[in-house]
Amino acid sequence: MAKKTILSGMRPTGKLHIGHYAGALENWIALQNDYQNYHLIADYHVLTTSLNTANIYQDSIDMVIDWISAGIIPEKSPMFRQSQVKEHCELQLIFAMLITVSRLERNPTLKDQVRDLDLDSVIYGHLGYPVLQAADILLYKGNCVPVGEDQVPHIEITRELARKFNLQYGNVFPEPEPLLTKTARLVGLDGKSKMSKSLDNTILLSDDAEIVKKKLKKAVTDPEKIYKNSPGRPEVCLVYSYHKKFNESTEEIAEIETDCISGKLGCVDCKMRCAAKISNTLDPILKKRRELENNIPYILEVLNDGETKARSIARDTMAQVHEVMKIG
């Protein structure tokens, strides 16, 4: 049986952190044998939060380096920039006619961003963010989209647009399903919010063991564990949550929990053990990254191949769209 298609995407915001890894990338890598994966670099979507385009090219290259370093296999899973496949623009324009403004205003991720970014007005492109995302997914006839909980409303809008188009013009698009990522978003080193570049609370995939140690040393732990031997509360401690993610020994995790609660284990000790576990995951990624950083022509070739494949699929889909619509 033919493999199902996965379309996954990220906005290029520079080097990736372990939150991206745990929340998305690790899942993409695990799925690449059972599905036909396409990986989109959403370099138009990124304009909704910053009009400064100076870094988009470099950020996109850095993201591809991180993807490959972490284990995405370019020969299997094409990677491409949204801006290099113009059909995204055309399909999003057609989809824009099939959805109401009030439906888009009800999109919860828009409300969250208006609040988080403290916006006093919303640009048209921001309102239309999920319409472009629907075009991203449906151009490749994605059956599944690996996402975190927060992106589910966008997949719902994608499904509605697929249904609406198919009813109006003829059956071209599948109705994609979200593939929910198991790991919830990692908390940042400040312990307050999710890991995010703009909050400067990240551990990067490209951080070496020394940097990981240094960053973890400063991480916020249970504020009630004042002295080394005070009893702690692992469930409120971000270091414990990292242990749960990066320490492959369930016995050691259980021991850390017991020894934190009893006060036997101090935070510095616990943090250094955690740093070692994180670096176990990151070291091979870093090694590969160093190789790739010195071979930018290879990265450009990967993008060129990915973009050639993506364009050819996008062109086929648009030919079907034109046929059923009798325009274009």
Indicate the residue among 145 and 161 with the shorter CB distance to ligand TRP: 145
Return the closest-CA partner of residue 15 out of 56, 71, 62, 69.
Answer: 62
Q: Is residue 128 at the binding interface for ligand TRP, with CB under 6 A as the rule?
A: no
Determine the Cα–Cα distance for residues 200 and 180; give it in Å rounded to an integer: 26
Indicate the residue among 79 and 147 with the shorter CB distance to ligand TRP: 147
Closest approach of ligand TRP to the CB of residue 63, in Å? 12
Near ligand TRP in 132-191, by CB under 6 A = 133, 136-137, 145, 147, 151
Segment contacting ligand TRP (CB under 6 A): 39-47, 65-73, 91-99, 236-244? 39-47
Indicate the residue among 11 and 271 with the shorter CB distance to ligand TRP: 11
Closest approach of ligand TRP to the CB of residue 309, in Å? 17
Closest approach of ligand TRP to the CB of residue 151, in Å? 6
Q: Is residue 303 at the binding interface for ligand TRP, with CB under 6 A as the rule?
A: no
Copy the structure tokens of residue 193: 């919010």
Determine the Cα–Cα distance for residues 201 and 215; give it in Å rounded to an integer: 9
Closest approach of ligand TRP to the CB of residue 263, in Å? 41
Q: Is residue 4 at the binding interface for ligand TRP, with CB under 6 A as the rule?
A: no
Cα 148 off chain centre by: 8
Sequence letter at residue 281: T
Q: Is residue 10 at the binding interface for ligand TRP, with CB under 6 A as the rule?
A: yes
Q: Is residue 85 at the binding interface for ligand TRP, with CB under 6 A as the rule?
A: no
Q: Is residue 42 at the binding interface for ligand TRP, with CB under 6 A as the rule?
A: yes
Indicate the residue among 109 and 233 with the shorter CB distance to ligand TRP: 109
Segment contacting ligand TRP (CB under 6 A): 2-10, 215-223, 288-296, 319-327? 2-10
Q: Is residue 11 at the binding interface for ligand TRP, with CB under 6 A as the rule?
A: yes
Determine the Cα–Cα distance for residues 125 and 142; give it in Å rounded to an integer: 23
In sequence order, the β-bridge partners of residue 2 are none
Closest approach of ligand TRP to the CB of residue 24, in Å? 8
Closest approach of ligand TRP to the CB of residue 82, in Å? 7
CA dihedral of residues 99, 314, 321, 153 (deg, nearest 10)? -20
Exposure letters 137-175 (e unless 16+ CB within 10 A, then b): bbbbbbbbbbbbeebebbbebbbbbbeebeeebeebbbe
Indicate the residue among 133 and 241 with the shorter CB distance to ligand TRP: 133
Closest approach of ligand TRP to the CB of residue 135, in Å? 9
Total residues contacting ligand TRP by CB under 6 A comes to 14
Among 6, 7, 138, 265, indicate the residue that binds ligand TRP (CB under 6 A): 7
Residue with the CB atom nearest ligand TRP in the bound state:
9
Return the closest-CA partner of residue 152 out of 93, 107, 117.
Answer: 107
Which residues bind to ligand TRP, rule: CB under 6 A? 7-11, 40, 42, 45, 133, 136-137, 145, 147, 151
